[in-house]
Amino acid sequence: MSGHSKWAQIKRQKGVADVKRGMAFTKLANAITIAVRQSGGVGDPNQNFKLRLLMDKAREANMPKQNMERAIERGKGKGGAGEELKEAVYEGFGPLGTAFIAEAATDNTLRTTSEVKQIVERNGGTMGNPGSVSYLFESKGLITVKKGDKSVDDIFLQAADSGAEDIEEAGEEVLVYTQPAQLAKVKDALVSQGIEVLEFELTRKPLTTVTISTKDDAMKVVNFMQKLEDLDDIQKVYSNFDIPEALL
């Protein structure tokens, strides 16, 4: 297990995934606005795949319905603020030669670029040009499920029957990978079969990984990810590090 998948697991173990509830709501609202804008103003989740995923995540986080509705309206160009929001993607190399991609929703790209660059350079990394590391990742749907009383083989068969591409064991969790467009369908199928879903998202899965072999190095990589993701404008951060379970 590597990169973003490992990072998500680390956050769950630390209990920090949604500790900053206000920040979580703001980031979800911005993501919803961007999803509506990217689709040309389609605010119906049944006709907008990305919006449906984000609405599901917003409900899971107990985000107030009016917040979601305001974000959708901004995406349609109503309310002003949505017109200023832009999607930005930053990529480069972080500590120990690990590749990173950071996705942002910002109303000020100069400010966000400066903040990202400062964190990258202070942590021994370098910013890259568009495309400099994105070829090291592939777009996938990712569903993290709890093993419970099921074996990995049982989950694999149920996931495959639901349309999943692959699974990966991660301690007491199992990672289920899908084609991006199949994510919601597979997630709903797994839930209907009694499998507990812990997380679901569109992700960038690394094609090659950088193995982290010491606890100090693991802390450098984890702290770098945390600092980037703590920025108000950053939506998600992906990396290709691989930290063995023993170091966690």
Least Cα distance to 97 among 121, 126, 122 occurs for 126
The domain limits of the chain are 87-135+208-247
In angstroms, what CA-CA distances link 196 with 9, 51, 149? 15, 22, 11
The Cα angle at residue 117 between residues 116 and 121, in degrees rounded to 5: 120
Which tokens is 65 given?
């319905």
Report the pLDDT value the prediction gives residue 246, as an integer from 0 to 100. 78
Q: HSE (CB half, 13 Å, CA atoms) of 105?
A: 22
Report the pLDDT value the prediction gives residue 18, as an integer from 0 to 100. 46
Residue with tokens 């942002």: 104
In angstroms, what CA-CA distances link 149 with 7, 41, 69, 136, 152? 25, 43, 39, 35, 10
Using CB atoms within 10 Å of the CB of residue 31, give its burial: 0 to 12 exposed, 13 to 18 middle, 19+ buried.
buried
Which tokens is 53 given?
């995923």
Residue with tokens 């599901």: 56
Report the pLDDT value the prediction gives residue 165, as an integer from 0 to 100. 94
Helix intervals (H) in the chain: 3-14, 21-38, 49-60, 65-75, 81-84, 109-122, 152-162, 183-192, 215-230
CATH 3.40.50.720 fits 87-135+208-247, yes or no: no
Could you tell me which residues are beta bridge partners of residue 91?
101
Report the pLDDT value the prediction gives residue 133, as an integer from 0 to 100. 96
User: Is 223:164 a contact under the CB 8 Å cutoff?
Assistant: no
SS3 131: coil
Instruction: Give me the tens of pLDDT residue by residue for the chain, a chain 248 residues long.
Output: 455 566 766 766 665 544 455 568 889 999 999 999 988 899 999 999 899 989 988 998 889 999 999 999 999 887 655 558 889 999 999 999 999 999 999 999 999 999 999 999 999 999 999 999 999 999 999 999 999 888 889 999 999 999 999 998 888 889 999 999 999 999 999 999 999 998 888 999 999 999 999 999 999 999 999 999 999 999 999 999 998 877 76
Which tokens is 128 given?
């890259």
